[in-house]
Amino acid sequence: MPRVLASLHVETKMKNMQIIEKWPDIVGPRIAQHTRATAADADNLFVEVDNPVWQSQLFLMKSEILQRIKEYGVTIKDIKLCIRKKES
């Protein structure tokens, strides 16, 4: 069983998913008010932002945020940003 789990990279996927929960700690409360980590895969963290201004700001901060994420021992290499759709 451990070999099967290792071949599926379950531990890596679980660590990457934990970053979603840790997002407010990683970026701080001010940024967390305007952003939300929604999903993660082997290489990417997907983040929704309130508006284009925050999208630009996070794009400029991407390398700094990735450094903070690496402190959690994950394999995420990029952050994909999209603007949150307004609820009707």
* Contact between 34 and 84 (Cβ < 8 Å): no
The structural domain count of the chain equals 1
Average pLDDT (41-65) is 95
Q: How confident is the model at residue 7 (pLDDT cuts 50, 70, 90)?
A: low
Q: Identify whether 88 is part of a domain.
A: no
CA–CA gap between residue 11 and residue 65 (Å, rounded)? 22
Q: How confident is the model at residue 3 (pLDDT cuts 50, 70, 90)?
A: low
Q: What percent of the chain has pLDDT over 70?
A: 82
pLDDT at 84: 87
Q: Identify whether 58 is part of a domain.
A: yes
Buried/exposed 25-45: b ≥16 CB within 10 Å, e otherwise: ebbeeebeebbebeebeeeeb
Q: Identify whether 11 is part of a domain.
A: yes
Q: Identify whether 53 is part of a domain.
A: yes
Task: Supply the range of the domain harboring residue 11.
Answer: 2-83
Q: How confident is the model at residue 5 (pLDDT cuts 50, 70, 90)?
A: very low
